[in-house]
Amino acid sequence: MARPRPGQLPTLDRRSVLKVLLAGAGLAAVPGLAACGSGGSTAADPNTVTFGSNGSDAKPKQAYQAVLDAFAKQSGGLKAKPNVQDHQAFQQNINSYLQGTPDDVFTWFAGYRMQFFANKNLLSPIDDVWDKIGANFPQAVKDLSKNPQDGHYYFVPIYNYPWGVFYRKSLFQEKGYTVPKTFDDFINLAKKMQGDGLSPFVQGFGGGESWMLLGTFDYLNMRTNGYQFHMDLMHGKESWSDKKVKDVMDSWKRMLPYYQAGASSKKWEDASAALVNKTGGMMVIGMFVGQSFTNQADYEDLDFFAFPEINSQYGTDAVEAPMDGFLLSKNPKNPDGAKKLLEYLGSAEAENTYLSIDSSNLAVNDKADTSKYGTLQKKAVQFVADAKQLSQFGDRDSDPGFIQNVVEPAFAQFVQNPNTSDSLLTQIQSQKSQYFQS
């Protein structure tokens, strides 16, 4: 995935920004051998650490390379060799990748999704790394980096990024649109945009990217039923056939007539071109959409607003803000070198280097330099700081096998055939027991 930044805001306390971060997601097995490559013989070289990366998009790829180059310059002869894989393929093959010959260090996600592999004994604990980097991070980030089952640290974070509804400021000004506060306002705005010849809701979930639909569902559910119900649903504690979930799908149905044509065949990168060229009005996505804006003036025209209120009891309290970082494989070929790399990745220098290239994210290191944040990043910092609850994302707050194999296909079918919603929810509920014990 990827990320962005908004509005001129005062300096903020970073600890307050992250104090409401909560744990996210899990993972399930993907059959067959991974296509994601491995550390191979190069990792046996005492001067080389292999680095598995899902940062295949242009900006993350460039940013990670800059970080690895900076590491090599200060490491006394140690270098990191990247193994960059397609983002979606890396995620889908991660289980078999880790059971094969994975790279020494690799990119992954915080919270439940890290804990899943730690509990499967597929990772190495890095408490000694955290002894050296712990002072750089607030407690909420530390909590997301630790496995509560055994009390050990496994994860080194680098950034987080919120999801919102992104749009072009100049388009809204030209058309006289105002930012919607309620869901009814949201739908009325979409109707007006459609009348103006625009694609109101820019969307792409083709090419294996049905995960893109999760962001919309997460917000609809948290806005309708509140954060706690959403998390309980994600953890298998609530029924998918409950009327509360049916209400969510009914709200989603109201959005579908305004979806971009051909959404099921577009990846988000392709779909977002409509936002860039102003043929589309709004897009529910993470800050990484900023990577599509290669022209600086266009990027500075990018803005976002909170997914609108549906139930006044919950308002817009909850915000989706995933956190990414790094893990150490179970049997690294170069364990000492790998830990030195992780120590560097946990430094403010590494975070500053990364964000200087891929500015569509927010620093999580207390000592990182935020003085050069643009208006979008500043607005995003405030957005996260104001949240009363933070989710990690659908496939990070739940068992991803369940999400990937059951929920995502059902959502993709629903978007193309909304009348199937009740039967699809029944189907999801009937398959839930394969992943969650009652």
pTM, two decimals, is 0.80
- Judge whether residue 266 has pLDDT over 60: yes
CA dihedral sign, ordered 345, 350, 356, 357: negative
State the angle between helix axes of 183-195 and 243-255 in degrees (0 to 180), rounded to the nearest 10: 20
Nearest alpha-carbon partner for 410 in 217, 202, 187, 203: 217
Query: If you compute the radius of gyration of the chain from its CA atoms, what whole number of angstroms results?
Result: 21
CA dihedral sign, ordered 426, 430, 431, 436: positive
- Judge whether residue 16 has pLDDT over 90: no
Q: Which of 1-15, 81-95, 127-141, 334-348 has the lowest mean pLDDT?
A: 1-15
- Judge whether residue 210 has pLDDT over 60: yes
User: What are the distances in angstroms from CA 312 to CA 223, 289, 352, 391?
Assistant: 8, 29, 39, 19
Q: Which of 24-33, 138-147, 204-213 has the lowest mean pLDDT?
A: 24-33
Count of structural domains within the chain: 2
Nearest alpha-carbon partner for 145 in 336, 319, 1, 342: 342
Max intra-chain CA distance, the chain: 63
Mean pLDDT of all residues in 109-119: 89
Mean pLDDT of all residues in 63-77: 96
Mean pLDDT of all residues in 96-109: 95
> Do 214 and 327 belong together in one domain?
no
Mean pLDDT of all residues in 12-23: 42
Question: Is residue 381 in a domain?
Answer: no
Please spell the DSSP secondary structure of 275-323, one letter per residue: HHTTSEEEEEEETBGGGG--SHHHHHTEEEEPPPBS-TTTTT-EEE--E
Q: Determine contact, residues 15/138, Cβ cutoff 8 Å.
A: yes
> Do 141 and 152 belong together in one domain?
yes
Domain coverage including residue 209: 163-320+394-434
Mean pLDDT of the chain: 89
Q: What residues are paired with 218 via a beta bridge?
A: none
Mean pLDDT of all residues in 333-337: 97
Q: What residues are paired with 286 via a beta bridge?
A: 163
> Do 130 and 237 belong together in one domain?
no
Looking at residue 438, its pLDDT comes to: 62
> Do 84 and 215 belong together in one domain?
no
Question: Is residue 141 in a domain?
Answer: yes
Question: Is residue 210 in a domain?
Answer: yes
Percent over 70 (pLDDT), the chain = 90
pLDDT digits (tens, 9 = 90+) for 351-409: 999 999 998 899 999 999 999 899 999 999 999 988 999 899 998 889 888 999 999 99
Q: Helix, strand, or coil here: 154?
A: coil
| pLDDT band, very low/low/confident/very high, at 19 (cuts 50, 70, 90) | very low
> Do 219 and 273 belong together in one domain?
yes
Question: Is residue 327 in a domain?
Answer: yes
> Do 183 and 84 belong together in one domain?
no
Looking at residue 91, its pLDDT comes to: 85
Nearest alpha-carbon partner for 258 in 199, 197, 328: 199
> Do 206 and 249 belong together in one domain?
yes
> Do 251 and 167 belong together in one domain?
yes
> Do 247 and 328 belong together in one domain?
no
Question: Is residue 67 in a domain?
Answer: yes
What is the domain-level CATH number for residue 185? 3.40.190.10
Question: Is residue 3 in a domain?
Answer: no
Question: Is residue 70 in a domain?
Answer: yes
Q: Determine contact, residues 54/107, Cβ cutoff 8 Å.
A: yes
Looking at residue 400, its pLDDT comes to: 80
Question: Is residue 239 in a domain?
Answer: yes
User: What does the alpha-carbon distance between residue 170 and residue 184 come to, in Å, rounded to a whole number?
Assistant: 23
> Do 180 and 310 belong together in one domain?
yes
Mean pLDDT of all residues in 174-183: 98
- Judge whether residue 40 has pLDDT over 80: no
> Do 271 and 403 belong together in one domain?
yes
> Do 247 and 336 belong together in one domain?
no
